[in-house]
Amino acid sequence: MKPSVILYKALPDDLRKRLEEHFTVTQVENLSPDTLAQYADAFASAEGLLGSSEKVDAALLKKMPKLRATSTISVGYDNFDVDALNVRKILLMHTPFALTETVADTLMALVLSTARRVVEVAERVKAGEWNKSIGPDWFGVDVHGKTLGIVGMGRIGMALAQRAHFGFNMPVLYNARHHHPEAEERFNARYCELNTLLQEADYVCLILPLTDETHHLIGKSAFKKMKKSAIFINAGRGPVVDEKALIDALQNGAIHAAGLDVFEQEPLPVDSPLLTLPNVVALPHIGSATHETRYNMAATAVDNLIAALEGRVEKNCVNPQVRQ
């Protein structure tokens, strides 16, 4: 008999078929208590779990006594209680290599659109306000040649450094847990302490995972250290930033602008003050959201679940130490 799995995200038809060749699949809308109650038997017998953007915590695991592997269609796994998974020896698979270049493109899009006020001025054109040659009140600031600071020099940070160095001739500063000699050699990136980076960078780009250590890493005192002309970009996880402090910094002119793909609460509440500020570009967490990349992520996640449940884990595993 095929093992049973719960699928909590829609898949393209061919990937769904691939999954069904290996498993008996129960598709659900989400992992809410109502869904759990409705599909109690399916959750109780499932050995695998595949999806994204939902909390997988100890309470859920309790309802899934047979679970052996979870596979997330994402690189980030802050939605998972990894300790609880480890205790139960449940594998956690993710997609670390599928989205690097696409998220770096999103970061660059945020840099360019905040600097050149692309969204704001395009809206003005649509509103019929372009009725004479534009003046300084429509001008932006340069990107090329300015200093880009990257906080978090993982795969995506490296891909951003590559774009900034080769494409835009930007000096690159970075802060990370470790030195990255490759970034220093290839992109002339300079390692510096976080405070130095905050003080010197024209663009402060955050691309960090959410952990206990990174929660609210950037708050009031960090914004104070930045240049008044600094542009702040976040495309990692919202709660790495104290959003209230960010809003204050933008409202008080402590920094110039912000480009944000992630927020403390997603979807961003419609009454967020961020939506009233013309110097904010707010995106709906589109970092990896291209047709090609989302397909590749889903395909990787399907293959990851098949490999994990067949006992062939070689890559893309967050907790390989629990393998039995």
CA distances from 181 to 98, 176, 189 (A): 23, 12, 9
Structure-block tokens of residue 151: 């906080």
Least distance CB 80 / ligand 8YV (angstroms):
11
Note whether 320 and 34 are within 8 A (CB): no
Candidate ranges 15-23, 71-79, 223-231, 308-316; the one touching ligand 8YV (CB under 6 A): 71-79
Candidate ranges 25-33, 74-82, 142-150, 225-233; the one touching ligand 8YV (CB under 6 A): 74-82
Least distance CB 220 / ligand 8YV (angstroms):
26
Structure-block tokens of residue 150: 């990257």
Least distance CB 48 / ligand 8YV (angstroms):
17
Please identify which residue in 75, 143, 260, 309 interacts with ligand 8YV, judged by CB under 6 A.
75
- Region 271-310 residues binding ligand 8YV, contact defined as CB under 6 A: 285, 287-288
Residue 74 lies near ligand 8YV (rule: CB under 6 A):
yes
Residue 46 lies near ligand 8YV (rule: CB under 6 A):
no
> Residue 61 or 99: which CB sits closer to ligand 8YV?
99
Structure-block tokens of residue 70: 């979870």
Residue 3 CA to residue 199 CA, distance in Å, equals: 54
DSSP H/E element including 234: strand 231-234
Please identify which residue in 24, 26, 53, 86 interacts with ligand 8YV, judged by CB under 6 A.
53
Structure-block tokens of residue 92: 């956690």
Least distance CB 282 / ligand 8YV (angstroms):
15
Residue 154 lies near ligand 8YV (rule: CB under 6 A):
no
Tell me how far the alpha carbon of residue 116 is from its chain's centroid: 23
Mind telling me the catalytic residues? 237, 266, 285
Note whether 110 and 283 are within 8 A (CB): yes
For residue 41, the 8-state DSSP code is H
Residue 73 lies near ligand 8YV (rule: CB under 6 A):
yes
- Which has the closest alpha carbon to 23: 87, 76, 67? 67
* Residue position matching structure tokens 């002339």: 188
DSSP 239-256: GGB-HHHHHHHHHTTSSS
Tell me how far the alpha carbon of residue 208 is from its chain's centroid: 8
Residue 76 lies near ligand 8YV (rule: CB under 6 A):
yes
Least distance CB 110 / ligand 8YV (angstroms):
14
Amino acid (one-letter) located at 153: M
Residue 175 lies near ligand 8YV (rule: CB under 6 A):
no
Q: How many residues bind ligand 8YV (CB under 6 A)?
A: 10
Residue 27 lies near ligand 8YV (rule: CB under 6 A):
no
* Sites of contact with ligand 8YV (CB under 6 A): 52-53, 73-76, 99, 285, 287-288
